[in-house]
Amino acid sequence: MKKFNNFLDKVASPFELIAPWLLRITLGTSFILHGVGKFPIPAPDMVRWFESMGYMYPEIIVSMVAVGEVAAGAGIMIGGLLNTKANFFYSNGHLITRLSGGAISVIMIGALLIAHKEWLVTQELFMSEQIFLLALGLYFAIKGNK
């Protein structure tokens, strides 16, 4: 078993530096696409949906969600690009990554509580992409660029 594990380590080691990018690119792209899908802002269908639930200022909420999704998705990827200790912007990249991860987490908690509240105590929660987007957001909010 140890030989097999060593073999897998040897095969995987050239790819260790790109492994975090698999998460960054997936999360960032997903959030950018979800946000862009809400443009032009405010998205009329989404505004009507928020109005039907009795939320105040639905145009502002919808606009903030759309811009927040695009900005957070871009921030996850930009923060990673600034992840070189020799880079003058290194600490800013770490901060951008953490703030973007936090924003993604807040957006996803809002989505789960508003749009998918019936999932909170059922298996549907763990069969949806939303829980994984939340988990990835929390991962980057906690870990940043470290």
For 112-142, write each residue's pLDDT tens digit: 888 877 767 777 766 778 889 999 999 999 9
Entry pTM: 0.86
**Burial zone of 101 (CB within 10 Å; 0-12 exposed, 13-18 middle, 19+ buried):** buried
Asked if 83 contacts 75 with a C-beta cutoff of 8 angstroms, the reply is no
What is the pLDDT, as a whole number, of residue 35?
96
The ranges of the chain with pLDDT < 70 are 84-90, 119, 125-126
Angle, alpha carbons 113-115-121 (nearest 5°): 55
Of residues 21, 34, 16, the one with CA closest to residue 133: 34
